[in-house]
Amino acid sequence: MKICMIGAGYVGLVSAACFSDFGWTVTCVDKDPNRLASLKAGKSPIYEPGLEALMERNVRVGRLVFTDDLKTAVANADIVFLAVGTPMRRGDGYADLSYVFSAVEEAAQYLDGFTVITTKSTVPVGTSREIERRLKAKRPDADVAVCSNPEFLREGSAIQDFTHPDRVLVGTDDLRARDVMERLYKPLALRGSPVMFVERESAELAKYAANAFLALKISFINEIADVCEAVGADVQEVASAIGRDRRIGDKFLHPGPGYGGSCFPKDVSALIRTAREARSPVSIIEQVERVNHERKLAMAVRIETAAGGSVRDKTIAILGVTFKPNTDDMRDAPSLLIVPMLQERGATVRVCDPQGRPQAEPMLPGVVWCENAEDAAAGADALVIVTEWNEFRALDLEAIKSRMAGSTIVDLRNVLDPATVRDLGIAYTGVGRGRSPASQKAG
Ligand code: UDX
């Protein structure tokens, strides 16, 4: 089976590397010369645990090739995956499909023999049909079937997620395409992952519905955390109690500074727009978008309150700026709202992040970059954990305290044990862990 993967972004690159590891021959096409040069040199342009090793072993045996030669890749392919970006369009919040359509139109010229064309990028409902329409207009003679095959992997655990998915979802009404996709995913089916065949519109909508539901779950537990603080309950206990109900499930019930990343904010926004356009608004998801934005601002206020009511002329140490651990991705990271708000209110901000600096540096002007948590703590009035990198779970709190000017820790991910922190004479503010004077919403 020969695969052409158009787009070597997060989803494209991980999918290409994993498919090649199944034994398929994958040609990954990208137009960005810098990205391509890095890939050809065996370097992943993104930080993702395990990815470079996977790329290396498949490139070595010739199963994974990086190129800008779309013509040969498409002409030889049994399946062409569209994994180009679908960013949020500035101004109206819709998914921007210009990269998808230009890739389709370019690829159309080179199609040769029966080819399955399938979206891997998250695309609004109806996109597969629109791709089909454009293909037929451009190449009425081409023998193609257009599918939708959304990807559910998470950054930071992308390879594990790709190779052990809860389900593989394929939207198609074409029997030959179904056969090709069944063969493609056989290695995962044999390992026990269900491969589901559904209508194309169902596959497209399911991806948005899944992400919106997960975003809803996070916003829900964030609000419950606030209630916990108001009534003196512990959100960890509440989450673990409700999570045991299998109808609710115990995942995605960690309160924090609000969700970020390349998917949730963009997909929530796109679903809201699609639903409004279809005259079937998802008002609950519209609330989620608003609640999540306010959540990030409320976290800056929480830090200010914990620092004694004002951060003017104070130094705040921020541990972790990426939107989650094990990635260098800064897209829609809560830190991008929290840090500037602290700076606006007069704070000096010292920052450390195990992988985030190259991406974050231009996005967070005016901060002082530090090597590690202890370095960041030097002279700080308050220390704040924004992203739960593992190394922040086992901080040497005594060393940190001795370097700080103040003695306040704000733990926005609940990774520290409050009693241990308080025993050292450090004031502790977590999220939803009993009554907290710092638990005020952004006004
Ligand atoms: C998400 C989806 O999980 C994945 O299925 C989809 O394909 C892409 O979008 P990703 O953005 O990589 O994956 O990260 P994820 O681990 O889902 O976290 C998203 C955000 O939610 C992060 O900012 C994270 O900190 C936050 N989060 C997650 C919480 O605040 N609490 C939780 O309990 C879980």
- For the Cβ of 153 lying below 6 angstroms from any atom of ligand 1, the answer is yes
Q: Separation of 27 CA from ligand 1 center, angstroms?
A: 29
Q: Is 281 annotated as a binding residue?
A: no
In a domain, residue 71? The reply is yes
CA distance 413 to 255: 7
Residue type at 45 in one-letter notation: P
Residue 194 sits in the same domain as residue 300: no
CB 223 within 8 A of CB 196: no
Among candidate residues 68, 121, 114, the one with its CA nearest the CA of residue 98 = 121
In a domain, residue 416? The reply is yes
CB-count exposure of residue 363 (10 Å: 0-12, 13-18, 19+) = middle
Q: Separation of 156 CA from ligand 1 center, angstroms?
A: 10
- For the Cβ of 154 lying below 6 angstroms from any atom of ligand 1, the answer is yes
Q: Separation of 289 CA from ligand 1 center, angstroms?
A: 15
In a domain, residue 248? The reply is no
CB 416 within 8 A of CB 277: no
Q: What is the pLDDT of residue 441?
A: 42
Q: What is the pLDDT of residue 437?
A: 52
- For the Cβ of 323 lying below 6 angstroms from any atom of ligand 1, the answer is yes
Q: Catalytic: 18?
A: no
CA distance 340 to 160: 35
- For the Cβ of 155 lying below 6 angstroms from any atom of ligand 1, the answer is yes
Residue 62 sits in the same domain as residue 194: yes
**HSE-up of residue 163 (Cα within 13 Å, Cβ side):** 15
Q: Is 30 annotated as a binding residue?
A: yes
Given phi > 0 = left and psi -120 to 50 = alpha, else beta, which region is 37? alpha
Residue 11 sits in the same domain as residue 133: yes
- Residue 115 pairs in a beta bridge with 144
Residue 188 sits in the same domain as residue 319: no
- Last residue of some domain: 169, 198, 227? 198
Q: Separation of 337 CA from ligand 1 center, angstroms?
A: 18
Q: Is 35 annotated as a binding residue?
A: yes
Q: Is 255 annotated as a binding residue?
A: yes
In a domain, residue 257? The reply is no
Kindly report the pTM of this predicted structure. Answer: 0.93
- Last residue of some domain: 198, 214, 243? 198
- For the Cβ of 66 lying below 6 angstroms from any atom of ligand 1, the answer is no
Residue 39 sits in the same domain as residue 162: yes
Residue 45 sits in the same domain as residue 179: yes
CA distance 103 to 14: 19
Question: Quick one: three-class SS letters along the chain?
Answer: CEEEEECCCHHHHHHHHHHHHCCCEEEEECCCHHHHHHHHCCCCCCCCCCHHHHHHHHHHCCCEEEECCHHHHHHHCCEEEECCCCCECCCCCCECCHHHHHHHHHHHCCCCCCEEEEECCCCCCCHHHHHHHHHHHHCCCCCEEEEECCCCCCCCCHHHHHHCCCCEEEECCCHHHHHHHHHHCHHHHHCCCCEEEECHHHHHHHHHHHHHHHHHHHHHHHHHHHHHHHHCCEHHHHHHHHHCCCCCCCCCCCCCCCCCCCCHHHHHHHHHHHHHHCCCCCHHHHHHHHHHHHHHHHHHHHHHHHCCCCCCCCEEEEECCCCCCCCCCCCCCCHHHHHHHHHHCCCEEEEECCCCHHHHHHHCCCCEECCCHHHHHCCCCEEEECCCCHHHCCCCHHHHHHHCCCCEEEECCCCCCHHHHHHCCCEEECCCECCCCCCCCCC
Q: Is 207 annotated as a binding residue?
A: yes
Say which residues have a Cβ less than 8 Å from residue 183's Cβ, sequence separation at least 6.
1
CA distance 246 to 355: 36
- For the Cβ of 264 lying below 6 angstroms from any atom of ligand 1, the answer is yes
Residue 181 sits in the same domain as residue 315: no
- In ligand 1, which atom is closest to the CA atom of 254? 33
| Best of 250, 263, 271, 387 for a ligand 1 pocket test (most atoms within 8 Å of beta carbon) | 263
In a domain, residue 394? The reply is yes
Q: What is the pLDDT of residue 151?
A: 96
Q: Separation of 252 CA from ligand 1 center, angstroms?
A: 8
Considering its fold, how many domains does the chain have in total? 2
CB 299 within 8 A of CB 232: no
Give the CATH number of the domain where residue 150 resides. Answer: 3.40.50.720
Q: What is the pLDDT of residue 436?
A: 60
In a domain, residue 219? The reply is no
- For the Cβ of 19 lying below 6 angstroms from any atom of ligand 1, the answer is no
- In ligand 1, which atom is closest to the CA atom of 324? 25
Q: Separation of 229 CA from ligand 1 center, angstroms?
A: 24
Among candidate residues 304, 299, 308, 339, the one with its CA nearest the CA of residue 321 = 339
Residue 179 sits in the same domain as residue 301: no
- Last residue of some domain: 147, 164, 198? 198
Residue 159 sits in the same domain as residue 41: yes
In a domain, residue 270? The reply is no
In a domain, residue 228? The reply is no
Q: Which domain holds residue 404?
A: 296-429
Per-residue model confidence as pLDDT tens for the chain (443 residues):
999 999 999 999 999 999 999 999 999 999 999 999 999 988 999 999 999 999 999 999 999 999 999 999 999 999 999 999 998 888 887 889 999 999 999 999 999 999 999 999 889 999 999 999 999 999 999 999 999 999 999 999 999 999 999 999 999 999 999 999 999 999 999 999 999 999 999 999 999 999 999 999 999 999 999 999 999 999 999 999 999 999 999 999 999 999 999 899 999 999 999 999 999 999 999 999 999 999 999 999 999 999 999 999 999 999 999 999 999 999 999 999 999 999 999 999 999 999 999 999 999 999 999 999 999 999 999 999 999 999 999 999 999 999 999 999 999 999 999 999 999 999 999 999 987 655 444 33
Atom 31 of ligand 1 has which residue's CA nearest to it? 254
